[in-house]
A and B are shown apart, each in its own frame.
Chain A
Amino acid sequence: MVEAEAAGLIAIGAGLAVGLTGIGAAIGEQSIGSAAIGVMAEDPGFFGKGLLMTVIPESIVIFGLVVSLILLFVF
């Protein structure tokens, strides 16, 4: 019973790690993406840089994913 509870809590923690970092990244990306599209509308040559800037907040989701994998497979 206790082991099952612990496994459940680990799974919730793993889910939160990915979910909350995803929300955080989305909040960051909404402004960066809008600005990048704005600049691209004026200067299409900015596409590469704009795309790179937009996905930078995604790195936080990778950290979240790593934490969730550690939670699921190490503990």
Chain B
Amino acid sequence: MGILSEAIKRILERPATRKYPKEKPKIPEGFRGRIEWNPETCIFCMLCAINCPTNAITINKEKKEWSIDIGKCIFCGRCHDVCPTKPKSVSNSKKYELAEYEKEKFRLKFRKSERGG
């Protein structure tokens, strides 16, 4: 009887589910999404690359290149925690729709240009 009365009570309520692709969820504060790199503050100290638990980050000091493999990244945010610059050069963004058809597209490479940026 318990379930039946509950079912009757809820029959006129709105559905509890969200229509996801049309209706985006609200991203909470502190969400750990895709890692983003800010070339302007980066000092190429290698701390993020050394401390990454899955070795997803690689840095080329001479070419001033910073790259990340999102397929390897576990979004733990350790690179953000260990980054010594202010404001932090490496940080979690709020991007979460990261699926791709090809593996190659997960390897993202960024370069610091002479003018910065």
Do A and B make up one complex? no
